[in-house]
Structure 1
Amino acid sequence: MIRALGLAAALLLSACGESQPANAPAPANTAAQSGNSTANAPVPDRARVRLETEAGNIVLELNGRAAPVTTANFLAYVDQHRFDGVTFYRASRTPRRTGQGFIQGGIRRNAMLGLPPIAHEPTSRTGLRHVDGTISMARLEPGSAMGDFFIVSGTMTSMDAGNRRPSSGNNDAEGYAAFGRVVEGMDVVRRILAGATVENAGAGAMRGQMLERPVRIRRAVRAD
């Protein structure tokens, strides 16, 4: 569903995802595989982040207990101000389902802003799912996620582990790494999702999904 879905440089740079059984064991609460400066720091079970955008604020609650590596990585970008000034640049809408799809934002593989890629935390391991308001990581192959992410509007189980997404450029069935949810500001998410896109802009799964007017994230800060 994505042509309408996809994410990281090509997918999200082409993509999105969801995930596994609710009774799946939670992974150890450590960021040891994150590959960034917070790798040895304790990861909170829950952490809130506020994205202050030109379209309004979006407050996220990250699940460090279920997805410690991904949460630590996102917090590193926040704490090091690497998201300040980046944009939501993609709106991928699901045909025939009004209001469903995802918005993608982040560093767009900018080498000056990027931290090392992180280990993939599939939904089959974390027990999270791509339901309404889920935030997840954009990627190409598993283990390539850096600083591009997407937020889902509506339920998109095709982004969970176990689903192949050849239309997005990903055919590995590992899904996307969901790691939190929106707790305030879904109206802002849907407003961005409804924004005008450029018909011939973007490549591959992203073609026709690039926002005509990308929405700037003025700053991203912890909101605990």
Structure 2
Amino acid sequence: MENGDSMIIELYPDEAPITVRNFKKLVSRHYYDGTVFHRVIEGFMIQGGAGAATDSIKGEFSANGVKNSIKHDRGVLSMARTSDPNSATSQFFICQTREGCQHLDGSYAAFGKVISGLDVIDKIASVKTNANDKPLTEQKIKSITFVEVSGN
């Protein structure tokens, strides 16, 4: 984050390969650098990634005929979309609470999870917002980078 806060997110390409590939492509192009969390609803989620439209991708979730067992638990990263199940482009959201997000299970493409920095989600979710859930103080993403981790 521009304020020095950071999160570490683990991606799940086995559950959502198209979504992970799209996210990694956008990150490699520095698409998210300097963007903001433009929609924040405390007790629900924080949403970011808005910008010039990118190509839409297939929604990888059960209501769209794709197996994806990731539940929208606290810290889960998922793609935002319109009512069209195949309309996700670049916008994503991070669930703040299980209670606030459980109704999204099977209807949105979850593809990762915050494994460090859950406090940052809470901090962003607690900022004052306007009537459209836009933070009154910008919550800016400085950059997103990848760190490859080899498993045992």
Q: Give the TM-score taking structure 1 as reference length.
A: 0.61
Cα distance in 2, alignment partners of residues 210 and 118 from structure 1? 26
Cα distance in 2, alignment partners of residues 198 and 127 from structure 1? 34
Deviation at 1:223, TM superposition (A): 2.0
- Which residue of 1 is the match for residue 47 of structure 2? 104
Q: Percent identity?
A: 32
Question: 1 or 2, which has the higher strand percentage?
Answer: 1
The 5 A counterparts of 1:67-86 are: 67-86=16-35
Cα distance in 1, alignment partners of residues 4 and 109 from structure 2? 26
- Which residue of 2 is the match for residue 159 of structure 1? 104
Alpha-carbon contact 1:119-1:143 (below 8 Å) kept: yes
Segments of structure 1 that go 5 or more residues without pairing to the other structure are: 1-51, 94-99, 162-174, 200-206
Segments of structure 2 that go 5 or more residues without pairing to the other structure are: none
- Which residue of 1 is the match for residue 79 of structure 2? 137
Cα distance in 2, alignment partners of residues 53 and 160 from structure 1? 31
The 5 A counterparts of 1:44-193 are: 52-54=1-3, 56-93=5-42, 100-106=43-49, 108=50, 110-111=51-52, 114-123=53-62, 125-140=67-82, 141-155=84-98, 156-161=101-106, 175-193=107-125
1:138/1:115 CA distance change after superposition, 3 Å? same
Correspondence 1:220 to 2:152: no
What secondary structure is seen at the aligned counterpart in 1 of 2:34? coil
Q: Give the TM-score taking structure 2 as reference length.
A: 0.88
Deviation at 1:213, TM superposition (A): 1.3
Runs of 4+ in 1 over 2 A off after TM superposition: 52-55
Cα distance in 2, alignment partners of residues 220 and 210 from structure 1? 21
Question: 1 or 2, which has the higher helix percentage?
Answer: 2
What secondary structure is seen at the aligned counterpart in 2 of 1:151? strand
Cα distance in 1, alignment partners of residues 109 and 31 from structure 2? 20
What secondary structure is seen at the aligned counterpart in 1 of 2:7? strand
Q: What is the aligned residue count?
A: 142
Pick the structure with greater CA Rg: 1
RMSD: 1.4
